[in-house]
Amino acid sequence: MKRYSDVIDFHGHSCPGLALGYRVAQLALKEFKCRSEDEELVAIVENNSCAADAVQVMTGCTFGKGNLIFRDYGKQVYTFIKRPSGKSIRISVIWEKPAETKEEIKSWEAYSKGDRSKKITELVHSRKAAKTRHILEAGDDELFAVTKGKSPLPSQAEIYQSLRCAVCNEKVAEPKAALRDGKMLCIPCIEKKGRKR
């Protein structure tokens, strides 16, 4: 099984979001007892936070294989479905970060506005490290609400014919191309053409 250090290597740094994704993936792997080599496990992530990187590394679900599905809901919710049974686990993050002091709040606000002074940076990184440690050491019931059941299986990844856009001459997957004025165009060229009108 992959370790947290593997997740950090992929993502580039350790942070609370990455730790949450790591713990989510651990729970899913414990439930299904397999990592996805092909498409036998499907992950649906409802946010594009650091946690999604941990889900990819830990579970083997990736955009390239078509078994990592992104739904832009902005929610810390992760659903895993096992093929072909449809058995699923939905994991919702319920963890609440520990209360912050006035100094920590002010430091984060300063950091968010671009202040990278030594004092501010150290305080922000120290706070993030403490949150990360807490997530890695907490019990599952402190972090997550879990629902098990069956879910409809998303269709498996499809391979599409590539066409050349009549404007930019770049390859585009056939279902993403559209006919405009008798020519096949990619989405960016369609959008550019629409703005010129």
Q: Give the tens place of pLDDT for each residue, 99-148.
A: 888 988 899 899 999 999 999 999 999 999 999 999 999 999 999 999 99
Sign of the torsion angle spanned by Cα atoms 3, 6, 10, 16: positive
* Distance between CA atoms of residues 141 and 92, nearest Å: 11
Q: List the CATH number of the domain containing 188.
A: 3.30.60
Show the domain range for 58.
4-95+138-150
Residue 38 host element (H or E) = none
Residue with tokens 């579970």: 59
* 155 belongs to a structural domain: no
Say yes or no: 46 and 90 in one domain. yes
Q: Mean pLDDT for the chain?
A: 92
> Residue 22 corresponds to which tokens in the numbers above?
């790591």
178-180 and 87-93 as β-strands: parallel, antiparallel, unpaired? unpaired
Is residue 174, in this structure, part of any structural domain at all? yes
Gyration radius of the chain over CA positions: 21
**Residues 34 and 77 grouped into a single domain:** yes
In a domain, 48, yes or no: yes
pTM above 0.85, yes or no: no
Residues composing the chain: 197
**Is 100 among the domain residues?**
no
In CATH, what number is assigned to the domain containing residue 64?
Answer: 3.30.1330.130
